[in-house]
Amino acid sequence: MHLNDKEILKEVVFKTSRSGGKGGQNVNKVATKVELIFHIQNSLSLSDEQKQRLLDKLSGMLDSEGFLHIVSQASRSQLENKKIAITKFIKLLKSAFVDKKPRKATQPTKTAVEKRIKNKKIAGEQKKLRAKIKTD
């Protein structure tokens, strides 16, 4: 599936607010925290199939109205935080469209089975040695 980053970024809304954390007195004066907000259902650049896939894959990250929120407050600069949020957003979308390789079931090798059983026997012997000796 092809994803056009520039088209999707036109549909994104940014909110800024004062950030916590490092920054000294600057924290109280400048709105450096950036929140990227994207509504998947209202997107014009995504097909219906792409929207459904995003809704399925990112369901745990959506709020009750279906908005995806990505927050960045790592930097003291609002512009830097905006770049970080955009990078996180694009990476998240691209990872949602990657298909996982199906796992191929395999059998353990003969030596692996023998090694496991040998280790189990050694562990069993050690436990026997730890047991209390009964005296009658």
Q: Which of 7, 74, 62 is nearest to 34 (CA)?
A: 74
Segment holding 90, helix H or strand E: helix 78-96
The pLDDT score that the predictor gives to residue 27 is: 67
How many Cβ atoms from other residues are within 10 Å of residue 17's Cβ? 12
Instruction: Find tokens 């907000």 and name the residue.
Output: 37
Complete domains list, the chain, with CATH = 5-96 (3.30.160.20)
Task: State yes or no: pLDDT of 17 exceeds 90.
Answer: no
Q: What is the pLDDT of residues 87-118, one digit of tens each?
A: 999 999 888 888 889 999 999 999 999 999 99
- Looking at residue 87, what is its pLDDT? 94
Render pLDDT for 18-38 as a digit per residue (tens, 0 to 9).
877 666 666 677 788 899 999
